[in-house]
């Protein structure tokens, strides 16, 4: 019997280069997606609808248009089937945080339903359906290191191109909507994301949304600076449109030491020690 749960893996943009604002208002980007070993947990249930629990469940109260439900309806329409039962979402990742969130949850729902009904979770029909749900959903569906262009939905999977480096995620518990961050981008094209080795490209890259996000929410600068100052850091940067920031470390000890130090200094911040998958 197919497993009835999926992890909605936390998404990281190791680098995010904004190249242009298109006439339709969308932005052309180049990004390097990576995914953490941890995230929200989505379970199939026999009870119709969507039940939400976990530390960030309250942020989704009254969300009748949750992406998990939309993904299930879209899957049923695309494949001409009835989706019986429902889902339970254990929401452990912050909402509006630049680490996938609803996109990762929707992707987990699609993987569950694909396994349940014998569809290919990495096949073109499901990827096309994922793209209709949101620009990040196709990458979250794959949940492997992936290079994204266009709106972030033209994907080139990179296989096992990244080592399972220890990662620390930190969020100041302040939501930040994507739209205002993109709107505040200064429209300066600072160049392409490097080709070749994924980790080298990430280290040489940048997040063009970090400066406008910092202007809107200055504490992001404090989070990145706190991470960058920790021993053993390989890279410290904001993910996506914020406000979650991350640091890659040389080893678990360095990551765990950083987590302890930051938790002691900033007890109100959210932290997740994890690793790249």
Element housing 1 (H / E) = none
The alpha carbons of the chain give a radius of gyration, in whole angstroms, of 18
The CA distance from 154 to 260, in Å, is 38
Q: Residue 144: in which H helix or E strand, if any? A: none
Catalytic residue among 11, 91, 153, 208: 11
Do residues 122 and 128 make contact, with C-beta atoms less than 8 angstroms apart? no
Q: Is the dihedral of CA 191, 197, 203, 209 positive or negative?
A: positive
Rounded Cα distance between 83 and 77, Å, is: 10
Q: List, in sequence order, every residue forming a beta bridge with 256; answer none if it has no partner.
A: none
91 given a catalytic annotation: no
The pair of three-digit structure tokens given for residue 261, joined into one six-digit string? 């130090």
Look at residues 126, 83, 73, 135 and name the one whose alpha carbon lies nearest to residue 104.
135
- What is the CA angle 12-165-227, rounded to 5? 65
Distance CA 232, CA 258 (A): 9
Question: 40, 105, 136, 153: which is the annotated catalytic residue?
Answer: 136
Catalytic residue check, 136? yes
The answer to whether the beta carbons of residues 133 and 246 sit under 8 Å apart is no
Contact 144, 161 (CB under 8 A): no
Using DSSP, state whether 271 is helix, strand or coil. Answer: strand
Known catalytic residues?
11, 136
């Amino acid at each position: 019997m197919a497993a009835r749960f999926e992890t909605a893996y936390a998404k990281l943009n190791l680098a995010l280069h904004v190249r242009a604002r298109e006439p339709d208002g969308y932005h052309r980007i180049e990004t390097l997606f990576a995914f953490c070993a941890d995230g929200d947990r989505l379970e199939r249930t026999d009870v119709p609808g969507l039940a939400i629990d976990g530390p960030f469940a309250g942020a989704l109260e009254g969300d009748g248009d949750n992406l998990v439900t939309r993904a299930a309806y879209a899957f049923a329409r695309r494949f001409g089937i009835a989706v019986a039962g429902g889902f339970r979402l254990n929401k452990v990742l912050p909402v509006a945080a630049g680490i996938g969130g609803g996109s990762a949850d929707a992707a987990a729902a699609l993987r569950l339903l694909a396994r349940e009904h014998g569809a290919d979770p990495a096949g073109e029909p499901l990827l096309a359906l994922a793209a209709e749900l949101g620009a990040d959903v196709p990458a979250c569906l794959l949940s492997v290191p992936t290079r994204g262009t266009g709106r972030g939905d033209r994907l080139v999977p990179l296989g096992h191109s990244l080592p399972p480096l220890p990662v620390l995620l930190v969020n100041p518990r302040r939501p930040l909507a994507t739209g205002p961050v993109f709107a505040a981008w200064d429209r300066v094209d600072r160049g392409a994301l490097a080709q070749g080795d994924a980790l080298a490209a990430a280290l040489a890259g940048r997040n063009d949304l970090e400066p406008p996000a910092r202007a809107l929410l200055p504490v992001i600068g404090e989070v990145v600076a706190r991470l960058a100052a920790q021993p053993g850091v390989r890279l410290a940067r904001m993910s996506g449109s914020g406000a979650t920031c991350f640091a890659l470390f040389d080893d678990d000890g360095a990551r765990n030491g950083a987590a302890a130090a930051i938790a002691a200094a900033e007890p109100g911040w959210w932290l997740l020690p994890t690793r790249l998958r």
